[in-house]
Amino acid sequence: MSPERNLRVMVVDDHDVVHWGFRLLLTEQPWVERCLSASNAEEALELARRYDPHVALVDLFLGEESGAEVCEAIRRESPTTRVLLISGAGWISPQAAKAAGASGFVSKDWSADDVAAAVRMVGKGMTVFAPRAEQPAAPLSDREREVLTLMASGATNKEIAQRLFLSPHTVKEHTSALYRKLNVRNRAEAVQRAERLGLTV
């Protein structure tokens, strides 16, 4: 095995575009021997058993599944696999991540080079944790993400209400929750911060 290409990395993410991007990024690294991919816990555990990856890059929110729980399951199946949790919309404390068996947590807001460097560091036995300041105060709900995406497209509250079949009052409640979680004061700041954190599509 070449010393310059010696890590088997597994990407566990349920969003196709994100998945594709991480795989493309990692397969281009000279130190990655193989890049495996899974879109849910079941696939991740099967690959962990079969290939014993050195590093698993696991999304903190896998549909209805918790990335922390998937991390624990991967570590049970393949104790030598080190897990790096990643998220664009949530937060897990270093203590909770470590309790789940993770060796790090990073934000999807990081540059491609920084994410790749974090994977390599975890593969070498180090730990990497994103500072809390980079994350929203609390994870966004699916409905809040929908409102935020429409907000970013320029839709008014009335238009958002029509598109999502909600009352204008409910949309206003969602926008207030978004401002609080993103720690912003208005729509412009919310959209700007959301784009920086990779929360909008």
Q: What is the pLDDT of residue 3?
A: 46
Evaluate whether the domain defined by 142-197 bears CATH number 3.40.50.970: no
| Domain extent listing, the chain | 7-134, 142-197
Q: How many residues are recorded in the chain?
A: 201
Overall CATH class of domain 7-134: alpha beta
For the whole model, what pTM was predicted?
0.65
> Which segments of 2-141 does DSSP mark as H helices, in order?
16-27, 41-51, 67-77, 94-99, 112-123
pLDDT digits (tens, 9 = 90+) for 12-68: 998 888 889 999 999 999 999 999 999 999 999 999 999 999 999 999 888 778 889
pLDDT digits (tens, 9 = 90+) for 152-196: 889 999 999 999 999 999 999 999 988 888 878 888 888 877 776
| Contacts for 182 with CB less than 8 Å, ≥ 6 apart | 136, 137, 189, 190, 193, 194
| Contacts for 101 with CB less than 8 Å, ≥ 6 apart | 71, 72, 74, 75, 83
- In the predicted model, is pLDDT for residue 136 greater than 80? no
